[in-house]
A and B are shown apart, each in its own frame.
Chain A
Amino acid sequence: MAYVATRGGERAIEQSQRLFREAMGDISADRIQEIRDAMPYLIDRVMGEASLYDEDLAALALAQAGGELYEAILLLRAWRTTQPRLALAAPVTQESLFTHRRISAAFKDIPGGQVLGPTLDYAHRILATEVLSGDTYVPTPVDPAEKPAPAQQPSVAAWQAENGLLTLPQADAVQGNDIPDVTREPLLFPAKRAHTLQSLARAETGGVLALGYAAQRGYGQAHPTVNELRLAEAEVVVTHPRGTRFSAGRVKVSQAEVVNKKGEQLELGFAATMGWNEVKVIAAATLDLNSDGAPKGSATEEEFFLYHTEGVESSGFCIHFKLPHYVTFQSSLDAMRDAKAKKAAKATTPEPAE
């Protein structure tokens, strides 16, 4: 390994950054507000992958990066390291979620019913090109029901357990700072389940989808059915110095369970993330369902999917290839030229006489 010190790029680097930022123009509080209000699902995706929940910061990162998602997430992950961790909230449970959407593809008549919530699942995908001709697209308002939906919806899995279809897990005794945390300790394999689920929660959506889709298409061992999909808000329950536990506010979360038959019972795969991102949690739950006993190097093997869906690491490794590799490439060229010269020399050297 060798390095060559060079100079002369300072001005070019400075101007290249100006060129990038000039294209976006001024960044004002109004722009941040507009991004935040107009693109909540993009904000959610960025917050989930950055593993940092704050809509204003996510909108600012998007504005600064010009919508380049990997840059925006890197900005947020870097900013996160400047902040102290003040507290650990109480664990969020499924039953406590303030639920906006809860559906099941496995059972029609689930307790609490099928509540679609905000979705374009059944919409015609028609581009509103009239906006480009000067019209304003005004969405048709919702006709609210007379009575509100229950804020909390029951668990589909609990109902299945009551009917002998699956066995509910024991409550985890690991609490607070004892919960394994991939931001403070290395990811080792076989991974602790807490590490796996945390890594999937902060994983890059496209990567999770690609590998989850591979499993769904047939490169996995189990075919998933969505047992329950939830978009909801979770209370962030912290502790007052006097010991009172209270909610410091709500954050949006997504959660998916996928199910497959295993012997005489059902087996669940699970995933959740901050923000509303259905594709990611369904794909991630599919990977969770398929990971047990997956062949080494397959898309559904834990080490394979966790390493390859960490967006900051994978995008960073990918783009590092465009940085100067002059010495290593010269070394390859030298080796190539040497082999060529040896081959030529061998061709011109006469065979010794018998």
Chain B
Amino acid sequence: MPDPQCLEDFAHDEMLRILARARADKLKVFAEPLIADLGDIEVLDNRSGLVMLPMQDTAQGTHFHLGEVLVSEAHIKAMGFEGYGMRRGRDLEAAMAMALVDLTVAAGIAHSECGAFLRQEAAHQAAQDRDTLRRVEATRVDMETF
């Protein structure tokens, strides 16, 4: 079985990060038609659960647990490849849609469509972050000492 593939413009971690933050409605609409090209899909997991989030203390360097984050997870297999999705929240369908995109890309199918979807969502997320940070920047104190 060949190695799983990646998109030309997006490293695997970057693709997963964008999919995990993608708008749920758009992700589901995009992923659903991908099912047709994947043959029999085995669902290994599709469930909600918790991810424990540790943090590093800046006073003494200790790692400690901040608390748990609710996530939904999907883990699927088809054509000898794996697809995986994990997103914040309890939307199992969105996690499954993420796993479908991951699996489709790994199997080397619909790369140009997946790339276009990722570019669209990446641009949306970047615009959101930029908007947030412009508003944060407006609160910078321009300190003047007399």
Contact = CB atoms under 8 A, between A and B. Distances in A.
Interface of A: 47-48, 50-54, 56-57, 80, 83-94, 98-101, 108-109, 113-119, 142-151, 155, 157, 168-172, 174-175, 179-183, 193-198, 201-202, 234, 236, 238, 240-242, 244-251, 253, 255, 257, 268-270, 272-274, 288
Contact of B143 (A89, A114, A180, A202): A114
Contacts of B13: 244-246
A155 B84 CA distance: 35
A248 B53 CA distance: 12
B63 A179 contact: yes
A246 B85 CA distance: 10
Nearest to A268: B59
B141 A169 contact: no
A116 B139 contact: yes
Given A87-B86, A150-B133, A242-B4, 19 more contacts: A54-B70, A54-B90, A83-B49, A88-B52, A89-B54, A89-B69, A145-B138, A147-B137, A148-B130, A149-B134, A171-B61, A179-B54, A193-B57, A240-B16, A248-B71, A248-B88, A253-B66, A269-B59, A270-B57
A-B pairs with lowest CB-CB distance, top 5? A169-B61, A148-B133, A249-B88, A246-B16, A145-B137
A248 B68 contact: no
Given A108-B143, A144-B134, A249-B21, A179 B67 contact: no
Interface in B1-55: 4, 12-13, 16-17, 20-21, 47-55
Contacts of B143: 108-109, 113-114
Instruction: Give the most central of A90, A109, A248: most B CB within 10 Å.
Output: A248
B51 A113 contact: no
A175 B84 CA distance: 24
Instruction: Give the most central of B70, B132, B136, B140: most A CB within 10 Å.
Output: B136
Q: How large is the interface on B (under 10, 10 to 19, 20 to 34, 35 or more residues)?
A: 35 or more
B75 A241 contact: yes
Interface string B87-124: 11110000000000010000000000000000000000
Contacts of A244: 12-13, 16
A103 to B, nearest CB: 8
A250 B132 CA distance: 14
30 contacts: A51-B67, A54-B90, A84-B47, A85-B51, A113-B141, A114-B140, A114-B143, A143-B138, A145-B134, A168-B61, A169-B57, A172-B62, A175-B63, A183-B65, A193-B64, A197-B57, A201-B66, A236-B51, A240-B12, A240-B84, A242-B84, A244-B16, A246-B20, A247-B16, A247-B21, A248-B86, A255-B55, A257-B59, A272-B55, A274-B53
